[in-house]
C-alpha cells in the first residue's frame, strides 16, 4: 500500500499508486519530424507521454503508451522500439488520487528511432523542459496571459556515466517539481537523462538500457493549482530505490 511521506529528499515521498492496471493507447499516424505540429488542445493525461515523446524527441512516429498504476511495474519498465512503446506513471498530491502532480515518462531516443526507421524520423532531441514549456504556454493562454512570474530552470541530467542502468534510481529520487525563489518567482524544475543508443560510452550496456530518454514533467492540473495559489510549491515527489541491487 502506498503512502505519503515527509519532504526529506532521501525518503519514499508522495508515492501514491492505484491497483496494477495497464492501458495501451495508439498514437497518431506517422508524420515527418520536420512537419511536426503540436496541437493547442492537449491529449488526455493518460496519454501525456505520447505527446511528450513528440515534443521532447521531435517525432511523429506512431507509439503506444503503457500507463502504469503500480510503481514497481513502472520502475521495471523500459521504453521499447518493437513495437515503439513509452511508459508512463502519474504521481498524486492526495491519497484519493484526484490531484495529479507529476507525470514520469520513459521515452525512446531520437538516434534509436532514426537507426531503426530511417533518418529524419526524429530529432534533434530536446530536453524535458520543452514539454514543461508547452504545458506552461497552454496554462498562460487559458488565463489570458495573466499569471504570477514563472521561470523554467535548466533541465537537470541525472546520469550515471559509468553505469547507465543505475541512472534510473538517481532519476527517481524524491525532488520538488516547483519552488519559489527569493523574489517570489515560481520556479519549475525538470529532471531526466538521455542514453543514446549509439553513445560509445554505453555500447556494452544491455540494449533495453540504451536509446532512452527519461523525464519527470509537471502535470497541467498541478501547474494550474500553483498559478492559482491553491497549493504552495515545495512538495516532493518520487521514490528512493538507490539502496536496491542493480536490475
Asked, for residue 83, whether it belongs to a domain, the answer is yes
Place of cell 514533467: 217
- Let me know if residue 122 belongs to a domain: yes
Q: In this structure, is residue 247 part of a structural domain?
A: no
Residue 16 lies in a domain: no
Q: Is the pLDDT of residue 18 over 90?
A: no
- The 10s digit of each residue's pLDDT in 85-112 is 999 999 999 999 999 999 999 999 999 9
Summarised one tens digit per residue, pLDDT across range 172-197 is 999 999 999 999 999 999 999 999 99
Tell me if 108 is assigned to some domain: yes
| 113 contacts: CB under 8 Å, gap ≥ 6 | 57, 59, 61, 81, 84, 121, 122, 123
Helix segments in the chain, DSSP class H? 48-57, 71-76, 110-117, 128-142, 167-172, 220-227
Neighbours of 4 (CB within 10 A): 15
Q: Do 190 and 217 meet the contact criterion of CB atoms below 8 Å apart?
A: yes
Nearest C-alpha neighbor of 180 from the set 233, 222, 229: 233
Domain count for the chain, please give it: 1
Print the domain residue range for 81.
Answer: 22-237
Cβ 16 vs Cβ 94: under 8 Å? yes
132: closest CA among 110, 151, 157?
A: 151
> pLDDT tens digits, residue range 189-231?
999 999 999 999 999 999 999 999 999 999 999 999 999 999 9
Cross-strand bridge partners of residue 150: 186
Is 167 inside any structural domain? yes
Average pLDDT value for the chain: 84
As a whole number of angstroms, the distance between CA 206 and CA 78 comes to 11
**DSSP state letter for 210:** S
13 within some domain: no
Residue 230 lies in a domain: yes
Amino acid at each position: 500500500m502506498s503512502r505519503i511521506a515527509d519532504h526529506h529528499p532521501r525518503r519514499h515521498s508522495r508515492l501514491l499508486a492505484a491497483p496494477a492496471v495497464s492501458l495501451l493507447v495508439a498514437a497518431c499516424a506517422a508524420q515527418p519530424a520536420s512537419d511536426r505540429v503540436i496541437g493547442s488542445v492537449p491529449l488526455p493525461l493518460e496519454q501525456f507521454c505520447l505527446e511528450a515523446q513528440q515534443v521532447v524527441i521531435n517525432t511523429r512516429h506512431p507509439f503506444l503508451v503503457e500507463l502504469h498504476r503500480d510503481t514497481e511495474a513502472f520502475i521495471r519498465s523500459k521504453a521499447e522500439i518493437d513495437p515503439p512503446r513509452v511508459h508512463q506513471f502519474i504521481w498524486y498530491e492526495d491519497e484519493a488520487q484526484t490531484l495529479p502532480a507529476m507525470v514520469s515518462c520513459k521515452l525512446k531516443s531520437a538516434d534509436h528511432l532514426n537507426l531503426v526507421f530511417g533518418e529524419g524520423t526524429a530529432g534533434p532531441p530536446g530536453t524535458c523542459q520543452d514539454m514543461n514549456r508547452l504545458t506552461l504556454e497552454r496554462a498562460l493562454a487559458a488565463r489570458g496571459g495573466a499569471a504570477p512570474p514563472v521561470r523554467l530552470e535548466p533541465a537537470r541530467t541525472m546520469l550515471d556515466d559509468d553505469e547507465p542502468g543505475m541512472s534510473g534510481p538517481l532519476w527517481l529520487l524524491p525532488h520538488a517539481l516547483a519552488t519559489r525563489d527569493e523574489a517570489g518567482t515560481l520556479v519549475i524544475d525538470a529532471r531526466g537523462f538521455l542514453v543514446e543508443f549509439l553513445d560509445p560510452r554505453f555500447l556494452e550496456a544491455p540494449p533495453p538500457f540504451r536509446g532512452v530518454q527519461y523525464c519527470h514533467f509537471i502535470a497541467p492540473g498541478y501547474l494550474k493549482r500553483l498559478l492559482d495559489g491553491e497549493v504552495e510549491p515545495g512538495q516532493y515527489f518520487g521514490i528512493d530505490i538507490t539502496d536496491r541491487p542493480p536490475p
